[in-house]
């Protein structure tokens, strides 16, 4: 019984990592978001961080529960704002999938990652 459970967990982990590998090609990971922001021109007025940014920072600090709550709220807000923000939603779902994976919740991580990938593939066509 333990061997079967371990095998299923390995299969889910492999599927998640395959999806994550696709994201490495498309977008930077959560840990790289700070570097991208540092390249922004300094002449722009600083905006307060939104829920997505706060969720990413919580993830980087190791506050996985806080990151999950913030990213769930950011995803809900993004979905309410319509289809023009699809790529934003895809990024939020990717980040949420990574948080779920780090929390050891592969059954929740996989659907989030798959949905994010589906949105990104849909915007390419």
Report long-range pairs for 32-41 (Cβ below 8 Å, ≥24 apart). 34/60
Question: Can you give the pLDDT at residue 99?
Answer: 97
Question: Can you give the pLDDT at residue 52?
Answer: 92
User: Which of 22-31, 51-60, 78-87, 112-121 has the least mean pLDDT?
Assistant: 22-31
CA atoms within 13 A on the CB side of 12: 17
Calculate what percentage of the chain has a pLDDT beyond 90: 45
Class of domain 2-27+50-124 (CATH, top level)? mainly alpha
| pTM for the structure as a whole | 0.65
User: CA 19 from chain center: how many Å?
Assistant: 12
Count the neighbouring beta carbons within 10 Å of the beta carbon of residue 82: 9
């Amino acid at each position: 019984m333990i061997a079967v459970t371990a095998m299923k967990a390995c299969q889910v982990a492999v599927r998640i990592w395959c999806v994550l590998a696709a994201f490495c090609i498309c977008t930077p990971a959560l840990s790289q978001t700070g570097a991208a922001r540092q390249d922004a021109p300094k002449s722009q007025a600083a905006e307060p961080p939104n829920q997505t940014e706060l969720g990413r920072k919580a993830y980087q600090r190791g506050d996985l529960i806080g990151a999950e709550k913030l990213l769930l709220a950011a995803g809900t807000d993004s979905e309410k704002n319509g289809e023009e923000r699809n790529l934003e939603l895809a990024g939020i779902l990717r980040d949420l999938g990574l948080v779920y994976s780090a929390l050891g919740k592969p059954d929740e991580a996989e659907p989030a990652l798959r949905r994010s990938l589906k949105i990104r593939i849909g915007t390419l066509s």
